[in-house]
Chains A and B, each alone.
Chain A
């Protein structure tokens, strides 16, 4: 469990989770948006279609009722030219029923009634009335009166025409006679007020009279409806983004369009509603006017999805970057805190280790210097030994603290142009008793050399090299310190004729707390960290320290420091 939690807390895992979540949210939002859009579209289509269908049906029913009222009057009082015109005029069609185009009265006429009909029509001012086509038929259903509000001549031309000659009309009239209800015809072509041909239907209402005690259809009243004009009047406004198509029949087909465009039925982009009025079924189809998703839209949606995923990836990467930076910052702060704690401990340790030894040093010094009175030789010897031990202890403390600083890279060299020969001579002058019985020779270079050195630390290197040369040599041994410049490097050689170092010990020579076993191991004091410190100081100067030695012959330490300073080079070439 811990491992799982640990893995989950990894920045990469967190970033991956963000990416996955972001992508999932993007996808779901995109999908939801698409669905919502489609649903919204569907809802709009549905609302627009149903609303139109309802109003369309309502209008046709209203027209049917208007005709029925006229037929009731006609049945009661009979239809004359005058009453026909009055009935139509009273409707104020142009204002109240602008989609109604023409009206007509058709009468069922038996052969033996034709003569009386003609007489009647002649009296009404139609002397040339005749039933067309002529010929003997069992009965006739001629158009007796006609009125077109927009094409009066056309209407007049139709007067006398026997509708039953047309098979479809004959069937329609027969259906009306059977049901005694208003019926609508199939699609007609009607010339609209602008002279354009549009689809329409005719509504026919029966004139029902009582003949021999029986209700009998004696005629028909019709009105033609311009479907396009009616639909334009009723169609949803553009805001709703629904286009209406009307088909004659119970399903959309290319051949049955009477209004609008044919649209392949598609539950996503359109819906249909059947409207049955006056015995005829119409199909109202609502379609979205919003362009259907084509390839470019699909591509756009995929592009949006891709952008969402890319954004999620970028967000995840950004999060990863922030978390990693934060982790690094925390690690760094921890490291700094640890380092600070170590430094504080070191600082405290240095002070605490040195202070008691300082007290011993002062009081031994006071006694040795006679502050407590005269001391015997024996007392002096003992006190000096105590002093030496104390000095050794202080030296060890100082060296350990130096190592610690060097290892923790707390040392920053302060480089100054230095004459290494002068520095060496100064160090030699301070060695005092250590160099007694040794012959020390400093070989100056042909020309003075100035090298960028940290005097304080490089002094330690020189001190240690000379001390080691002296400590590991017998009395009378020769110690030679020489200097040179070679290929951009300052070279210092400290050569002795001491006991030498076995080649097998070269590898461990510069390790901390390592002393080589030799004849001087017990007699010569040392902590085994002198060369270790030296190497670190030389490394800080970006130099190298090497050793050449032969047991019984002597040892040479070669320190090489790059002459990095331009000034050093200028000075050295003058």
Chain B
């Protein structure tokens, strides 16, 4: 599938990381939208239908778990791939995210730009 047809929503409160991920994924041709917290993420879903969401957990206003609960993203966009993308490794929280619709957990600090591209590519176009 053409990356240009694929949309990625980045929900990340760290401004620099957010910018880095946008830069990396946009360069690959994905249509990227980014928000700084879960609350903005919920609102953004009204006009942005993502194919993949990179979701941080610890954020102000509304955290990752709150976003999953309030956005009903799995109901609205059942095909969207949700990757918990965080530096937290609390099993309970991650398990809850999976219950709420996340399909993968990745420790942010283990992912280089190339790793990120490969990760997104593998999730959105696993056949290739």
Interface residues of A (CB under 8 A from B): 347, 350-351, 354-355, 357-359, 361-363, 365-366, 369, 371, 394, 397-398, 401
Contact = CB atoms under 8 A, between A and B. Distances in A.
Among B23, B88, B109, the one with the most A-chain Cβ atoms within 10 Å of its Cβ is B109
14 contacts: A347-B88, A350-B88, A350-B89, A354-B107, A354-B108, A355-B14, A355-B87, A358-B17, A362-B16, A362-B112, A362-B113, A369-B114, A394-B109, A394-B110
A362 B111 CA distance: 8
Contacts of A357: 109
Interface in B10-62: 14, 16-17, 20-21, 23-24, 27, 58
B87 A351 contact: yes
Given A347-B88, A351-B87, A365-B114, A371 B23 contact: yes
Contacts of A394: 109-110
A359 B87 contact: no
A354 B87 contact: yes
Among A351, A357, A398, A401, the one with the most B-chain Cβ atoms within 10 Å of its Cβ is A351
Given A350-B87, A354-B87, A359 B27 contact: no
A358 B88 contact: no
Contacts of B20: 359, 362-363, 366
A363 B24 CA distance: 10
Contacts of B58: 351
A358 B87 contact: yes
Nearest to A412: B91
B57 to A, nearest CB: 9
A350 B93 CA distance: 14
B106 to A, nearest CB: 11
B90 interface: yes
A50 to B, nearest CB: 86
Interface string B92-128: 0000000000000001111111100000000000000
Closest 6 CB pairs of A and B: A354-B87, A365-B113, A362-B20, A354-B109, A365-B112, A358-B109
A401 B89 CA distance: 10
Given A350-B89, A358-B108, 11 more contacts: A350-B88, A351-B87, A355-B87, A357-B109, A358-B17, A359-B14, A361-B112, A365-B113, A365-B114, A371-B27, A394-B109
Contacts of B110: 394
B114 A359 contact: no
Contacts of A362: 16-17, 20-21, 24, 112-113
B93 to A, nearest CB: 9
Describe A's contact surface by its main secondary structure: helix
A398 B110 CA distance: 10
Contacts of A366: 20, 23-24, 113
Contacts of B27: 371
Contacts of B88: 347, 350-351
Contacts of A361: 109, 111-112
A517 B74 CA distance: 56
Given A350-B88, A358-B17, A371 B113 contact: yes
A361 B108 CA distance: 10
A365 B117 CA distance: 12
A95 B24 CA distance: 132
Nearest to B86: A351
A368 to B, nearest CB: 8
A404 to B, nearest CB: 11
A347 B93 CA distance: 11
B28 to A, nearest CB: 11
Contacts of B14: 355, 358-359
B33 to A, nearest CB: 19
Among B24, B27, B86, B89, the one with the most A-chain Cβ atoms within 10 Å of its Cβ is B89
B8 to A, nearest CB: 16
A361 B24 CA distance: 13
B115 to A, nearest CB: 8
A187 B27 CA distance: 139
Given A358-B109, A369-B113, A363 B87 contact: no
A61 B86 CA distance: 116
B16 A363 contact: yes
A384 to B, nearest CB: 12
A351 B59 CA distance: 12
Nearest to B114: A369
B61 to A, nearest CB: 17
A361 B21 CA distance: 12
Nearest to A367: B113
B12 to A, nearest CB: 11
A347 B90 contact: yes
Contacts of B24: 362, 366, 371
Contacts of B17: 355, 358-359, 362
Nearest to B88: A351
A420 to B, nearest CB: 24
Among A362, A397, A398, the one with the most B-chain Cβ atoms within 10 Å of its Cβ is A362
B85 to A, nearest CB: 10
Interface string B68-89: 0000000000000000001111
B30 to A, nearest CB: 15
A357 B16 CA distance: 12
A397 B87 CA distance: 11
Nearest to B93: A347
A369 B14 CA distance: 22
A355 B16 CA distance: 11
Contacts of B16: 359, 362-363
A365 B17 CA distance: 12
Contacts of A359: 14, 16-17, 20
A365 B21 CA distance: 11
A351 B16 CA distance: 16
A52 B110 CA distance: 109
B90 to A, nearest CB: 5
Contacts of A358: 14, 17, 87, 108-109
A361 B16 CA distance: 12
A365 B24 CA distance: 10
Nearest to A362: B20
A348 to B, nearest CB: 9
